[in-house]
Amino acid sequence: MNHGDTAPAPAAAMADIFMEISNSKTASMAVGVVPAASAATVQSDAAKFIFFCWDEGEGHKSPQAWRPREVEIGEPKEGEIRIKNKSIGVNYVDIYYRTGLHHEHLPFVPGKEAVGVVSAVGPGVTGIKVGDVVGYADTQMGTYTEEQIIPAILAIPIPPSVDHITAASVLLKGMTAYVLVRQAFKIQAGHTVLVHAAAGGVGSLLCQWANALGATVIGTVSTQEKAAQATEDGCHHVIIYTKEDFVTRVAEITSGKGVHVVYDAVGKDTFKGSLECLMQRGCMISYGQSSGRPEPVPLSDLAPKSLFLGRPGMRHYTTTRDELLHAAGEVFAGIMAGVLHVRVNHVYPLHEAARAHAVLEARRTSGSVVLLPGS
Ligand X SMILES: NC(=O)c1ccc[n+]([C@@H]2O[C@H](COP(=O)([O-])OP(=O)(O)OC[C@H]3O[C@@H](n4cnc5c(N)ncnc54)[C@H](OP(=O)(O)O)[C@@H]3O)[C@@H](O)[C@H]2O)c1
* Cis peptide bond N-terminal to 107, omega within 30: yes
Q: Of the two residues 21 and 90, which places its CB atom closer to ligand X in the complex?
A: 90
**Minimum Å distance from CB 184 to ligand X?**
9
**Minimum Å distance from CB 353 to ligand X?**
14
Of 85, 119, 254, 365, which one interacts with ligand X (CB under 6 A)?
365
**Minimum Å distance from CB 127 to ligand X?**
27
Applying CB under 6 A, which part among 75-83, 114-122, 253-261, 310-318 lies near ligand X? Answer: 310-318
Under 8 Å between Cβ of 206 and 274: no
Under 8 Å between Cβ of 282 and 310: no
Of 192, 216, 222, 229, which one interacts with ligand X (CB under 6 A)?
222
Under 8 Å between Cβ of 367 and 201: yes
**Minimum Å distance from CB 56 to ligand X?**
24
Contacting residues for 115 by C-beta, under 8 A, at least 6 apart? 85, 86, 87, 89, 133, 134, 135, 158, 164, 167, 168, 171
Applying CB under 6 A, which part among 13-21, 27-35, 311-319, 351-359 lies near ligand X? Answer: 311-319
Crossing angle of the two packed helices 201-212 and 164-179, in degrees rounded to 10:
60
3-state secondary structure of 149: strand
| Closest CA relative to residue 339, chosen from 214, 237, 190 | 214
The reply on whether position 181 binds ligand X by CB under 6 A is no
Applying CB under 6 A, which part among 12-20, 40-48, 91-99, 186-194 lies near ligand X? Answer: 91-99
Crossing angle of the two packed helices 92-99 and 353-361, in degrees rounded to 10:
100
What's the DSSP call for residue 320?
S
Of 173, 191, 346, 357, which one interacts with ligand X (CB under 6 A)?
173
Of 82, 226, 237, 249, which one interacts with ligand X (CB under 6 A)?
226
Tell me the Cα Rg of the chain.
21
DSSP class per residue in 91-114: -HHHHHHHHTSS--PSSB---SEE
Task: Draw the binding track, 263-292, toward ligand X (x: CB under 6 A; -: no contact).
Answer: --xx--x-----------------xxxxx-
Q: Spell 202-217 as b/e; 16+ CB within 10 A means b.
A: bbbbbbbbbbbbebbb
Q: Of the two residues 142 and 288, which places its CB atom closer to ligand X in the complex?
A: 288
Of 314, 335, 356, 372, which one interacts with ligand X (CB under 6 A)?
314
Distance of CA 122 to the CA centre of its chain: 27
Written as one letter, the residue type at 231 is T
Under 8 Å between Cβ of 216 and 253: no
Site size with ligand X, rule: CB under 6 A? 30
Q: Of the two residues 224 and 375, which places its CB atom closer to ligand X in the complex?
A: 224
Task: Draw the binding track, 290-309, toward ligand X (x: CB under 6 A; -: no contact).
Answer: xx------------------
**Minimum Å distance from CB 282 to ligand X?**
19
**How many Å apart are CA 201 and CA 367, to the nearest integer?**
4
Q: Of the two residues 121 and 171, which places its CB atom closer to ligand X in the complex?
A: 171
Of 34, 181, 187, 221, which one interacts with ligand X (CB under 6 A)?
221
Task: Draw the binding track, 186-215, toward ligand X (x: CB under 6 A; -: no contact).
Answer: -----------x-xxxxx------------
Of 68, 100, 313, 374, which one interacts with ligand X (CB under 6 A)?
313
Distance of CA 306 to the CA centre of its chain: 31
Applying CB under 6 A, which part among 80-88, 128-136, 168-176, 345-353 lies near ligand X? Answer: 168-176
Residue least distant from ligand X (Cβ) = 200
Residues that bind ligand X (CB under 6 A): 91-93, 172-173, 176, 197, 199-203, 221-222, 226, 265-266, 269, 287-291, 312-314, 360-361, 363, 365
